[in-house]
Amino acid sequence: MVKNNPNVIITGTPGVGKTSHCELLAENTGLKHLSINQIVKERECHDGYDDELKTWIVDEDKLLDAIEDEVKQGGYIIDWHACDLFPRSWIDLVVVLRTDSTLLYDRLSARGYPQAKLDENMDAEIMQVLLDEARESYDEEIVVELRSDSADDIESNVERIESWLKQWRKDHAEDGEDER
């Protein structure tokens, strides 16, 4: 199946601005924002709720089965704190958002995260767990690390991703013409 639009993952520790990036990108590009947290709840792709961490226990197999037909068509911005479960063949760009630790701590505290969840997420950000996961799971040339400390960062990141998207579309339109 030839995709007319790419699939982009926007990933990073909770609180780095994934959803803000995804919503603005969807509005500006026409790609569809696929919030994995929402999919997990709505399509029941979980094995219950973890009361201590205040989060759903995701069943990754159910999740992948639930979104496979959509995502394979292309045109999605996948919004989630993990990326390594998505098959390489589905993904064209992986954007890992990073935030200053002090800012992130304040954002997560403001959300009322339980201490265990706050500590876990702070450790993940400081140790760049999600960036390493992305680099291990996908080809180096499709993994991009971007700062997300301010509203200005979000705007410039979205512009950069939009430029990448325009180039992707141009490259793939040319490929289609060459095949004819």
Question: What are the structure tokens assigned to 61, written together?
Answer: 């197999």
The C-alpha atoms of residue 132 and residue 126 are separated, in whole angstroms, by: 12
Binding region: 15, 17-20, 111
Helix extents (H) in the chain: 18-29, 36-42, 60-71, 101-110, 115-126, 129-137, 151-179
How much is the mean pLDDT over the chain? 93
Tell me what pLDDT residue 179 has: 39
- Please report, in range form, the residues annotated as the binding site for ATP: 15, 17-20, 111
Q: Does the predicted TM-score (pTM) go above 0.85?
A: yes
pLDDT recorded at residue 15 = 95
* pLDDT score of 150: 96
What is 8-170's CATH number, 3.20.20.480, 3.20.20.150, 3.40.50.300, 3.40.50.1100? 3.40.50.300
Classify residue 54 as left (phi > 0), alpha (psi -120 to 50) or beta: left
What tens digit of pLDDT does each residue of 108-163 get?
999 999 899 999 999 999 999 999 999 999 999 999 999 999 999 999 999 999 99
Rg of the chain, C-alpha, whole Å: 17
List b or e across 114-151, with b for residues whose CB sees 16 or more CB atoms inside 10 angstroms. eeebbebbbebbeeebbbebbeebbeeebbbebebbee
Q: Are 51 and 116 in contact (CB under 8 A)?
A: no
| Domain ranges (residues) in the chain | 8-170
Q: Is the pLDDT of residue 9 over 50?
A: yes
pLDDT tens digit string along 23-69? 999 999 999 999 999 999 999 999 999 888 788 999 999 999 999 99
